[in-house]
Amino acid sequence: MSYPTVIPEFVLRQSFIELDARARAQSLMDPGSWRELVGPFDRIESPWLPEQGIAPQFDDGCVVLKGAIAGKAAVVIALEGGFQAGSMGEVSGAKMAAALDLATRDSQNGKTTVAVLLLETGGVRLQEANLGLNAIAEVMASILALRQHAPVITVIAGTVGCFGGMALAAGLSSYIVMTPEARLGLNGPEVIEQESGIEEFDSSDRALIWAINGGEQRVAMGVADELVLDDAQKIAAIVRSHVEAGLPAVHRSQQVDLYRERIRALDTSRQIDPLTLRETWGGKTTVSKTRKGVTR
Amino acid sequence: MSIQVGLRGKAWFEALTGKNSPMAGDPDSVLTADVKIGEDTARFLCVVPNPQARFPCARRGEVGLEEAYTLAARVNEVIEQNTSADKQPISARPIIAIVDVKSQAYGRREETAAIFLACATAAEAYASARMKGHPVITLVVGQAISGGFLTHGYQANRILAFDDSDVVIHAMHKEAAARITLRTVAELDRLGHEIAPLSYDVRDYAKLGLLHKLLHVEDPDKPARATVAQVQKELIDAVADARAGSTDLGNRLTSNAARETRKASVAARAHIEEQWMKA
């Protein structure tokens, strides 16, 4: 009559990756606390895509929610990887930069407002080329301005990953949270193969891609902070803990001398084995000594 | 392209600073010099090709790991000097980025060693200098492409560029952009003439409202004495203009050209602000 059933926790979880940008953003905020700003009903869309015969989207692939996380004022900005691969256009970039700037203004006026960025993006939207690149420059400037007052937490869950100029934006964040499915890098594998040849990077080699760009590697080598399984509740808990932790003593992107020495010490006569960086870099970083490793 | 990317940058660095070597301990690809310009001693920085670079994918003027961390260190040095030497920084020193970079380095070594972080540190250094009141001026003399430009130059509060057909400011070089957007180079050229942000022509770039000024200079490949004097004066003016303005990137939205071409940015920002106040 009673058969003890063991259903693995992982099977019963709510996947975060399977949620769209809007549902991801909502899942991180205190229930009932948020309101979406400039949502699809406002129809602020790209003026450049229709000219090129490409369907725009009413929210330009960028979801902005203002509300609270762990009771603290917060804004969550999510890029929709399903629209133009999450690429940054003029409008999506302006929405992100504007929301970050308003969080800065509120923080300066005494209402500290943290930002969470959900980055699923290939970088610049090439159909808006120069306005996309500038949008990323402006987002980076806005992250740095807010970071003087409140933490900026980047979550990269997958499956698009975070590439191109937006990887620099991730690099400026106070904390980076990744799943094992997520990837983080400046140049995507296809771009490297195209520019430098298949001997340099075989973009069909998935094991190689995840060995270099994957969440497990990025956290183990110390250039991202938290590895978390694809579970919406666990990701929300990690985000809450970083909101509560506040600003780190030193941001990773300020540790120029440390990383410059590490680059100097690399043997560049051959390709670098990613595993060696786990040993030589990982764990030595003074950033985020706490809570490293997979949260289960 | 008449000459190799990076060589024009080197020529202008030499012409403006009278120097052509890296600072002690730096790779040959990053030239840094402190030179008097007007009343100030400005720090000039330039990334140049280094055929002997340790990293094989960063030998032709790309911004790689060594370049990015060197830029970050040399820019941070100026900020630190200012905060430690002068308790009251009356005039934070100008920082001038001479830009002629073909891109970021496209290599596996770079990806493995997290080039995204390297580039972020340099962009942060420039932005921090700007936010602390250093006039950060970018002078685009050749190419300014993609992650190379985000790392070295795009955080400046004033951007100057030569009005010349060899000056290219873009998100990706033409051949690669064509492949990724499934277009031909000819198609991309045609679209560029119709749609300003896609154009590879610096005069179209000027229409976006992001540039402080387009400089008309004689023979930019060979900086003559008179041309150098002209560019120096423009740099001095840009420094004064930056000091008189804000320390953010707001001028990229309020310029006459931006109000026209970046209407969507202005509208999106205004709507976000309006709804933010109510939320």
Tell me how far apart the alpha carbons of residues B34 and B11 are, in angstroms, rounded to a whole number: 17
How much is the pLDDT for B179? 83
How much is the pLDDT for A9? 76
Comparing B177 with A203, which gets the higher pLDDT?
A203
A138–B249 CB contact, under 8 Å: yes
How much is the pLDDT for A61? 98
| Alpha-carbon dihedral sign for residues A128, B188, A192, A202 | positive
Closest by Cα among A49, A20, A52 to A36? A20
Give yes or no for residue A236 having a pLDDT over 90.
Answer: yes
CB-count exposure of residue B25 (10 Å: 0-12, 13-18, 19+)? exposed
How much is the pLDDT for B177? 84
Tell me how far apart the alpha carbons of residues B236 and B40 are, in angstroms, rounded to a whole number: 9
Start-to-end CA span in chain A (Å)? 32
Which A-chain residues 46-75 have CB contacts (< 8 A) with chain B? 46-48, 51-52, 60, 64, 66-67
DSSP code of residue A214: B
Q: Which of A66, A94, A253 sits opposite B268 (nearest CB)?
A: A94
How much is the pLDDT for B56? 96
How much is the pLDDT for A284? 39
CA of A73 vs chain B CAs: smallest distance (Å): 11
How much is the pLDDT for B175? 85
Tens of pLDDT, residue by residue, chain B (279 residues): 445 778 999 999 999 999 999 999 999 999 999 999 999 999 999 999 999 999 999 999 999 999 999 999 999 999 998 765 555 556 799 999 999 999 999 999 999 999 999 999 999 999 999 999 999 999 999 999 999 999 999 999 999 999 999 999 999 988 888 888 888 999 888 888 899 999 999 999 999 999 999 999 999 999 999 999 999 999 999 999 999 999 999 999 999 999 999 999 999 999 999 999 998
Q: How far is CA A275 from CA A206, A216, A289, B113, in A?
A: 16, 11, 20, 11
Mean pLDDT of A32-60: 96
Q: Mean pLDDT, chain A, as a whole number?
A: 93
B111–A277 CB contact, under 8 Å: no
How much is the pLDDT for A296? 36
CB-count exposure of residue B49 (10 Å: 0-12, 13-18, 19+)? buried
Could you tell me if residue A244 is left (phi over 0), alpha (psi between -120 and 50 degrees) or otherwise beta? alpha
Give the residue from chain A lying closest to B68, CA to CA: A260
Asked if B154 and A130 touch (Cβ cutoff 8 Å), the reply is: no
How much is the pLDDT for A293? 42
Q: Which residues of A touch B79 (CB under 8 A)?
A: none
% of chain A with per-residue pLDDT over 90: 91
Which A-chain residues 124-183 have CB contacts (< 8 A) with chain B? 124, 126-138, 140-141, 144-145, 148, 164-165, 167-172
Phi and psi at B170, nearest 5°, equal -160, 165
Q: What stretch of H or E contains A244?
A: helix A232-245
CA of B119 vs chain A CAs: smallest distance (Å): 6
Cis amide bond preceding A159, omega within 30:
yes
Tokens of B218: 């004689």
Give yes or no for residue A149 having a pLDDT over 80.
Answer: yes
Mean pLDDT of A28-47: 97
CA of A72 vs chain B CAs: smallest distance (Å): 15
Which A-chain residues 71-130 have CB contacts (< 8 A) with chain B? 90-91, 93-95, 97-99, 102, 124, 126-130
